[in-house]
């Protein structure tokens, strides 16, 4: 008797625990079709948009919006089958001025192949915190379809947006772009607004300042609710192999927006050197079969600020630098186990980067996180702790397979403290690399970091980087420059 009762309770629990979607898939249930709002958020209360995975999140009936980006509100039709297109109407109620926002579409459409449609809210003006926009489903073309779900706790025929405080920021999407130097060459970049922007508030004529080293044209090519895209076209021949050309594009402060990430973009045509692709020195310092592969380093630093420098061990995620198939330094990294060349992946034979494979996280390039205290380490606040292309290799004579020189690729790194204050570091450096043993490779170099506010100019620090454990401890460097930790 107890066993029978337990089975009954388990079965009852499974039925009560099902969502209306789960129930609609039960062949032994004769449930009516329903139309409802299906707004999902993740653990950070951020909207989940298709095609992101929603996991086990339940739809919510209210949402506090703190972004100027277009807000997307999904509406889903749960039905066993549809023979024709179903249309539905909805009502909007808000105290906001009618011209302060736009809502599309006017009518929702659903088919068997596309059972979800989306209401999009585009904001044209800022709002007063506490304002609301309320949506309600009002009609559906098929009278057998009910408005709202079967679950009384979350009926789903109404959805309300509360408008909260907005912190508007902006940044460049990258800190360095390389050119080949051909006249007419084009490259693209974006100014990104993580929380969206109001077009009338952004002065595009004064959004950049320039330190130009060559002739080019810059034009706007597109925009979205959280970005403006630009194209730079080269107007002169920079193909001289032995000359370095560079331009710096810098974001300028806007009255209603704070710079929150990369503020400087270095556009550079670097010196070109003849190198044999077969040497492929970069490949010794990454492992694509291991997303958590670490290089191991030693840095000469006074981390404790006790007046004594020492070698401090550190690690960082090292990654290849992906390039196009026609890039002059391209080597095939993977064919993705298919004969189709369209999905082939190519890497730069002479460059590595330092970057975390975990979304929103960073790594510790050049042990820089030990240069500072009170630093923010998430990618949105300190994008400089992920470096797409950090070090370049130059095989001796262009063909040597065991040794050569290295260069820290010149660029700007943006980091911030935990209070949101930004610091821009200009980095460069040089040194050498060699094969120590059959499986052990070593880099030895000097890193130069420039920031007037933190250092009054440029400081230097010495480094070793190895592709694995098993290296000998470096010899101390008495009298060498010694970087101390700085509280940001």
Angle, CA of 265, 382 and 305, to the nearest 5°: 115
Per the document, the length of the chain is: 488
Tell me how far apart the alpha carbons of residues 63 and 57 are, in angstroms, rounded to a whole number.
14
Element (H, E) at 236: none
pLDDT digits (tens, 9 = 90+) for 412-429: 999 999 998 999 999 999
Mean pLDDT is lowest, of 16-25, 119-128, 431-440, for: 16-25
**What b-and-e string marks burial along 139-159, b requiring 16 or more CB atoms within 10 Å of the CB?**
ebebeebbbbbbbeebbbbbb
Tell me how far apart the alpha carbons of residues 379 and 389 are, in angstroms, rounded to a whole number.
16
- Per-residue pLDDT at 281: 97
Using CB atoms within 10 A of its CB, is residue 456 exposed (0-12), middle (13-18) or buried (19+)? exposed
Per the rule left: phi > 0, alpha: psi between -120 and 50, beta: everything else, 55 is left
Handedness of CA 332, 337, 338, 342 (dihedral sign): negative
Structure tokens given for 310: 């020492």
Identify which of 16-25, 304-313, 452-461 has the greatest average pLDDT. 452-461
pLDDT digits (tens, 9 = 90+) for 275-322: 999 999 999 999 999 989 999 999 999 887 878 899 999 999 999 999
Report which of 139, 52, 66, 131 is spatially closest to residue 97, judged by C-alpha positions: 131
Using CB atoms within 10 A of its CB, is residue 437 exposed (0-12), middle (13-18) or buried (19+)? exposed
pLDDT digits (tens, 9 = 90+) for 362-372: 999 999 999 99
Identify whether the C-beta of residue 184 lies closer than 8 Å to the C-beta of residue 202: no
Structure tokens given for 273: 């050197």
Tell me how far apart the alpha carbons of residues 410 and 246 are, in angstroms, rounded to a whole number.
11
Helix and strand numbers (H, E) in the chain are 3, 31
- Per-residue pLDDT at 29: 47
Answer whether residue 53 shows pLDDT above 60.
no
Using CB atoms within 10 A of its CB, is residue 86 exposed (0-12), middle (13-18) or buried (19+)? buried
- Per-residue pLDDT at 17: 40
Report which of 374, 386, 443, 442 is spatially closest to residue 411, judged by C-alpha positions: 386
The neighbouring-strand residues paired with 127 are none
- Per-residue pLDDT at 150: 60
The chain-wide mean pLDDT, for the chain, equals: 89
Tell me how far apart the alpha carbons of residues 293 and 289 are, in angstroms, rounded to a whole number.
8
Average pLDDT over residues 203-217: 93
Handedness of CA 8, 10, 11, 12 (dihedral sign): positive
Q: Are strands 422-435 and 441-451 parallel, antiparallel or unpaired?
A: antiparallel
pLDDT digits (tens, 9 = 90+) for 252-274: 999 999 998 899 999 999 988 99
Tell me how far apart the alpha carbons of residues 128 and 134 are, in angstroms, rounded to a whole number.
16
**Three-state SS at 325:** coil
Answer whether residue 30 shows pLDDT above 60.
no
Identify whether the C-beta of residue 37 lies closer than 8 Å to the C-beta of residue 161: no
Structure tokens given for 32: 């009516």
Tell me how far apart the alpha carbons of residues 111 and 142 are, in angstroms, rounded to a whole number.
12
- Per-residue pLDDT at 54: 54
Tell me how far apart the alpha carbons of residues 239 and 294 are, in angstroms, rounded to a whole number.
36
Mean pLDDT is lowest, of 17-21, 192-196, 311-315, 351-355, for: 17-21
Answer whether residue 354 shows pLDDT above 90.
yes
**Three-state SS at 358:** coil
Contacts of 37 (CB under 8 A, 6+ apart): 59, 61, 73, 74, 75, 76, 135, 137, 156, 157, 158, 159
């Amino acid at each position: 008797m107890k066993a029978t009762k337990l089975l009954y309770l388990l079965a009852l629990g499974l039925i009560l625990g099902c969502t209306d979607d789960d129930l609609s898939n039960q062949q032994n249930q004769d449930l009516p079709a329903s139309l409802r709002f299906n707004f999902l958020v993740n653990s950070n209360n951020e909207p989940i948009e298709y095609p992101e995975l929603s996991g086990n999140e339940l739809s919510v009936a209210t949402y506090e919006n703190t972004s100027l980006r277009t807000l997307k509100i999904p509406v889903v039709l749960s039905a066993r089958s549809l023979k024709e297109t179903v249309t539905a109407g909805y009502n909007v109620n808000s105290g906001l001025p009618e011209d302060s926002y736009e809502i599309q579409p006017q009518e929702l459409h659903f088919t068997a192949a596309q059972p979800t449609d989306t209401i999009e809210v585009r904001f044209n003006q800022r709002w007063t915190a506490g304002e609301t926009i309320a949506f309600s489903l009002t009609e559906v073309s098929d009278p057998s379809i009910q408005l709202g779900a079967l679950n009384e706790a979350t009926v789903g025929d109404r959805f309300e947006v509360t408008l909260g405080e907005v912190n508007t920021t902006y940044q460049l999407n990258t800190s360095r772009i390389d050119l080949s130097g051909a006249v007419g060459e084009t490259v693209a970049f974006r100014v990104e607004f993580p929380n969206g922007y109001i077009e009338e508030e952004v002065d595009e004529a004064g959004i950049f300042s320039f330190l130009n080293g060559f002739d080019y044209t810059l034009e706007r090519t597109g925009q979205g609710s959280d970005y403006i895209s630009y194209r730079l076209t080269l107007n002169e021949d920079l193909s001289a192999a032995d000359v370095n050309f560079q331009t710096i594009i810098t974001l300028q402060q806007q009255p209603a927006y704070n710079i929150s990430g990369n503020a400087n973009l270095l556009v550079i045509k670097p010196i070109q050197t003849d190198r044999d692709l077969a040497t492929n020195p970069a490949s010794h310092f990454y492992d694509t079969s291991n997303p958590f592969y670490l290089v191991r380093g030693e840095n000469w630093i006074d981390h404790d600020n006790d007046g004594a420098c020492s070698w401090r061990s550190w690690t960082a995620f090292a990654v290849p630098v992906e390039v196009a198939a026609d890039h002059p330094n391209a080597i095939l990294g993977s064919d993705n186990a298919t004969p189709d060349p369209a999905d082939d992946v190519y890497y730069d034979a002479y460059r590595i980067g330092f970057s975390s494979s975990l979304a929103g996280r960073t790594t510790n390039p050049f042990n820089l996180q030990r240069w500072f205290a009170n630093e923010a380490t998430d990618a949105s606040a300190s994008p400089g702790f992920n470096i797409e292309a950090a070090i370049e290799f130059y095989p001796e004579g262009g063909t040597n397979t065991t040794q050569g020189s290295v260069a820290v690729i010149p660029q700007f790194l943006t980091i911030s403290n935990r209070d949101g204050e930004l610091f821009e570091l200009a980095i460069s450096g040089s040194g050498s690399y060699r094969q120590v043993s059959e499986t052990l490779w070593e880099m030895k170099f000097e890193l130069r970091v420039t920031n007037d506010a933190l250092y009054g100019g440029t400081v230097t620090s010495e480094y070793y980087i190895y592709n694995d454990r098993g290296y000998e401890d470096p010899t101390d460097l008495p009298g060498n420059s010694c970087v101390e930790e700085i509280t940001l």
